[in-house]
Each structure stands twice: as structure tokens, then as C-alpha cells.
Structure 1
Amino acid sequence: MSSFETITIDVQSIKVTVRKKGSGPPLLFLHGAFGYEGWPTFLDLLSEHYTVYAPIHPGFLESEGIEKINDLYDLVLFNLDLVDCLALNDPHIVGHYFEAMVAAEIASVCSHNIGKLVMANPAGFWIDDDPGLDYFIVPDNEIRKHLLAHPEDSRYSDIFPEIDDESEQDQRSIDKVKALSTVAKFLWPVPDKGLSKRISRIRCETLVITSECDPIVPVSHGEKASSLIGNSIHMTLSEVGHLALLEDPETFAASIVDFLR
């Protein structure tokens, strides 16, 4: 596993763990509903071009303090304060799933302080005839098939692998419950929290990424997001699911690097 620096900062009296690696312009990565252990390949590839900052959101893994963030607006302000605490100047922001929604909310009120925006598999939209899968109700033993295009492929055995150790199983269950309750706080019961009314305020260049085999965020949601942003590009990655960033990290990272250049 690639090495990285771990720093702890105080944001609104909340201790936040931030992983950091690379050199070059700052890039803030906001993870989705599933936190990532260590430093995944796609972040390693991005860190070849940028100084990547990857905070662990309150409510995930070792970061706490989610009880102090009451609503989506609080979450937007928290992330803006995080950028200030890290002293980032005009960072590019890459967000996945519900943090793609948060990144868009940030850009809708603060585009002048952002480089470029990448929304990967973005939550925050509702289409009546194509709402997407409600993964909050998906059983543990079925989650892989909804996150990956090829869940049985041995190449992806390290993504949500089977665990035999009982204590590790218990810890994973605890982490999952924490993550689900955190995301549900901002997305449940309907993920549309009004972003469609605000997203047109985004002025920075934006890339919207969707995945061909993602049942959670259908391609139509990316098309809708892109259509509402004046200066945006929408692209769909083939043969990957919701976790395209882990399933095909090379293509995912290359798409972002090409856009940010």
C-alpha cells in the first residue's frame, strides 16, 4: 500500500483526520458513502500531478463529530472551514456520491475560491422514472453486486472482501452503521435536497462523471446535473459500477487529470 502523510486538524472544534500526498496544485478529495482504507490507487495516481488532501468525513472510520453538523448547510460551511484550516488556495475539488453533492453545494456558493469541480457518481437528484437504487435497504451480502460492475471478478476481491476474523467483522459492521447513518442524515429519505435550484450558480468548470453499470446513481442523473451547470462536461465510464474509482482507478484518475489540465 502506498505511503501517505496523516495530519489531524481542528475544524469547528471537530478533530478531522486528513490524508495527504503529492506535490503541485491542491486537490481536495471528498469521499462518498464508503470510506477508503489507506491510500487507494486512484488517489496515488492523482498525487502524481497534485497535492491531494483526503479528509475522513466526520462519522466515518476514526473521524468523529457528526453530531455537531445538523444539516446540509452546516456541512457546506464545515467543508469551507476545512479548506481554510488547510490553507488551500483555489483547490480543485473532487467529490464522490454524497460528497459530490456537497462539493456542488460548496461551488454554488463559493465558485470564486475553487479551481475546477469534479462530481463523480453524484447524489442529490431525483428523476421520477429513474430514481436509482436505495442502497440503505440493501442487505450486507448483496452490497458488492450493487457497487461493482463485476463483483465476482477476482481482480476486485480486495474491495469489500470476505472477512473470517470475528472481531474484524464486528468492526466492519460498526463502520458501516456509522457510515450509513451519516449519509442518511443528509440524503434520506429522498436525496433531492434542492441542489437543482442552486446548481446553476456554479461558475467554475465542472466535470460530471457517471458509470455505465451504476444502479445507485443512474447515468440520467449525471446528464441532469451537467445540463444545469453552464460550463460543464458529462462523461460516462464503461464497464464499471458505482465504485468506478476503485474498479478502474487508472481510467477514473486519467479522466480527472485530463480535465484539470
Structure 2
Amino acid sequence: MADWSEIDGVWIQRGAREKVLASLPRNVIGLIEEIELFAGTQIEFRDKSILLSAGETNVGVESVFATHTHAYISLPDLDSVNASAIIHELLHLRRYWVEQVPQIEATTNRSPFVELAANIDNAVEHLSIVPRERDYGFNPAPYWNKIVEGYWRDFPWLEVGPQDRRMRCLLGWLSLPLIDSNALAIDIRARVASAGLLADAQKFLVRIQSLPSKVRIASAVFRFLQIPRNNFELVVLDIRNRKSERRSIPEH
């Protein structure tokens, strides 16, 4: 591990931060400085080689990991920095640290719950984050057209039961505001209608977009998706005081 150093229990590549910052436009660096000034700590960067060696398979996309003490952004390749992807992860981090928006997390380390919590939280957060990317000069729609098309490619997901199929349809419907392909939107609408879920999906998105807080959104999500909430919780990161707070997801 000669090229790595340990920071707060996290292995970080030496020189990675400097290499990434040198590749970013000024407005993206400005967001990094804003977050770091608030937090009183640096955001670190690293490539995903250490995750690959640990058995992680989803190493082809950028991701942010944040706690109440530190945060780092993992990149597929430090030699090919994608500023658009980094601004996306920084906007996630800004909401978690600066705005102290709670995250939906699993109360257990069991894989199905951890993955589901991450999927739900991302689906909800992207409604706020993706439009903000345009403020920094990026157009996220082409990326999301591709991602959303891939999500629906295997519909109607015959390998799962009716409850999981309904959940996938409703969560997938939350991505419609992120795309700009009218043909794709029409196709998704037809698929959801064929499953008899169009009215539920439309009502779900309207409700989520109308609610003023992540706490109320989380409550509505679990009600609409018909998921027991006892395996999930809300986590608020108080980076300035280096502490976190865990809260139950309230009944609707």
C-alpha cells in the first residue's frame, strides 16, 4: 500500500485529490470549496481499485461515501475525470452535509435492505440534484436517457413477484423528470399502463414532488411502496459537530 495513506480509517491514494482538482473547471472547484468551508474538512478522492480488490463489482461509475466525519468520492479512473459525474456526487454531498437533508438507510447490514435503501434514497434525491447540475453548465439529460432506458429494458421483470414489480414501476417512474426523450417517456408510460399501475405511478410522483421535506417524502415513499419501515431509518449528518442522528421514519 505504498501509494495509499489512511485517513480516518479510509485508505486514500496519495496525490489523488490534487490530480482530480487539476482536471476540474473552476465552478466545480468552487462547490468543493463551499462544502469544505462549511464542513471544516477536505473531500478526498480515490479510484475504485481498492473496492475492486475487495470484491466490489459496481466500479464503473462515480460514487460518494459520506459520514459525520469525512467524505470521499470514488472514481473509475483518475486519469479520465468526468466533471459532470463529480458535480452530481458533490450535489449529493452538499445536501447531506450543508443542508443536512436526511438519508434513507437500512437499520441492518443485510444486503437486500441496504441495496433497497440506497435505491430509494437515490431515486428521491435525484429529483432535487439532477436539475441543479444545469446551474453548473452541464446537461444531464443524455446520461439519464441512457440510464432510464436501461432500467426499463427488462420490464416486466418476470423473475420477481407482483409486489416487487409494482415497487420497481413506481421507483422507475420517479426518473421521468430527469429525461428529455419524449419517445422514451411515451414508451415507459405504455409499459406502466400495461401493468395496471399508471394511476398509482402518476399519483406517487405528484405526491413526492409536492412535499416540503425529506422526512415527509420518506414517509410517503414507504406508504406508496407498501414497504414495512421498521428495517429503515433516517440519518442526519452533522459534519460541523462530527456527529450523526438517527430517526425513525414516521407514519404517514
Q: Same fold (TM over 0.5)?
A: no
Rg comparison, structure with higher value: 2
Q: TM-score under structure 1 normalisation?
A: 0.30
